[in-house]
């Protein structure tokens, strides 16, 4: 199979030296890439800025901003069999990008932000035969919020988790599928979860092939 995987944070620059971002380490997406490669699949990894060892056999596209990640995803999505959207994408970007550094002053500084492209929702609209698996980061009402995202973004599966997993090697996920099944897993290593997700994608695709859905 051909996997398109996103990982890491995106950055939204306020000026040439300052940006808004989040503490995503990229570990979940990198684990997915390793697990897919380990099963002999092809991997294109669209990766935000992270400090990590990178899987050698993946085709890696480095990006910084949400717009760059969106462009790379739109380009590579048509050839993918499965999208694994593990990136922690910034939801907002400054309305204007300053080309010179914002100078310090004692007056309060107000930043005006606008929403970024929802990459996953956009890709769902372009979906043909691809399997779409998203992640949901929730501080509260984990299952209800994740289910709402799965429906809104028209996903096949969503992996819900909490901010505790952000810069950790472990994760306590809930896997929700479009057919309504819910699987709660205890805390496990991100690589173990990644292997489960790749098997899920393989089984789903095999089933689709048997039913003639992927022709």
Write each residue from 64 to 103 as x if it is in contact with ligand CTP (CB under 6 A), else as -, in one continuous string: --x------------------x-x-x-x------------
| Catalytic residue (choose from 22, 140, 145, 161) | 22
Q: How far is CA 123 from the centre of its chain?
A: 12
Q: How far is the CB of 210 from ligand CTP (least distance, A)?
A: 28
Q: Do 37 and 57 form a contact (C-beta atoms < 8 A)? A: yes
- Shortest Å, Cβ 73 to ligand CTP: 8
Cβ-contact 118, 154 below 8 angstroms: no
- Give the Cα separation of 107 and 183 in Å (integer): 51
Least Å from the CB of residue 35 to ligand CTP: 17
Cα 43 versus chain centre, distance:
14
Q: How far is the CB of 119 from ligand CTP (least distance, A)?
A: 3
CA-nearest of 88, 77, 2 to 37 is 2
Q: Which is nearer to ligand CTP, 26 or 134 (CB)?
A: 134
Comparing CB distances to ligand CTP, the nearer of 119 and 131 is 119
CB atoms within 10 A of CB 79: 11
Instruction: List binders of ligand CTP among 153-212 (CB under 6 A).
Output: none
Phi, psi of 90 (to 5 degrees): -65, 135
The angle at the Cα of 68, spanning 87 to 150, to the nearest 5 degrees, equals: 35
140 is catalytic: no
Q: What are phi and psi of 164, to 5 degrees?
A: -60, -25
Write down the least CB distance from residue 202 to ligand CTP, Å. Answer: 20
Q: For residues 101 and 126, which CB has a smaller minimum distance to ligand CTP in the complex?
A: 126
Q: Specify the DSSP element, H or E, that contains 36.
A: helix 27-38
Q: Please give the residues from 7 up to 46 whose contact with ligand CTP meets the rule CB under 6 A.
A: none
Instruction: Based on the shown chain and the rule CB under 6 A, indicate whether residue 137 belongs to the binding site for ligand CTP.
Output: yes
Distance CA 51, CA 59 (A): 17
- The CB density around residue 116, as the number of other CB atoms within 10 Å, is 18
Q: Which is nearer to ligand CTP, 116 or 130 (CB)?
A: 116
Contact string (CB under 6 A) for ligand CTP, positions 97-136, x = contact:
-------------------xxxxx-------------xxx
Which positions touch ligand CTP (CB under 6 A)? 66, 85, 87, 89, 91, 116-120, 134-137, 149
Annotated catalytic residues are: 22
């Amino acid at each position: 199979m051909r996997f398109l995987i996103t990982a890491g944070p995106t950055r939204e620059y306020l000026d040439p030296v300052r940006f808004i971002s989040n503490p995503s380490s990229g570990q979940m997406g990198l684990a997915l890439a390793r697990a897919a490669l380990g099963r002999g699949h092809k991997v294109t990894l669209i990766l935000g800025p992270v400090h990590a060892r990178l899987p050698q056999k993946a085709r890696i596209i480095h990006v910084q901003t949400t717009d760059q990640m969106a462009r790379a995803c739109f380009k590579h999505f048509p050839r993918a069999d499965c999208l694994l959207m593990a990136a922690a994408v910034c939801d907002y970007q400054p309305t204007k990008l300053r080309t010179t550094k914002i100078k310090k002053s004692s007056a309060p500084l107000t930043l005006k932000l606008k929403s970024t492209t929802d990459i996953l929702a956009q890709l769902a609209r372009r979906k043909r035969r691809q399997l779409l698996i998203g992640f949901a980061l929730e501080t509260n009402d984990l299952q209800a919020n994740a289910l709402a995202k799965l429906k809104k973004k028209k996903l096949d599966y969503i992996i819900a988790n909490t901010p505790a997993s952000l810069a950790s090697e472990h994760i306590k996920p809930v896997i929700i599928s479009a057919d309504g099944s819910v699987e709660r897993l205890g805390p496990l290593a991100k690589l173990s979860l990644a292997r489960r997700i790749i098997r899920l994608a393989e089984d789903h695709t095999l089933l689709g092939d048997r039913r003639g859905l992927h022709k």
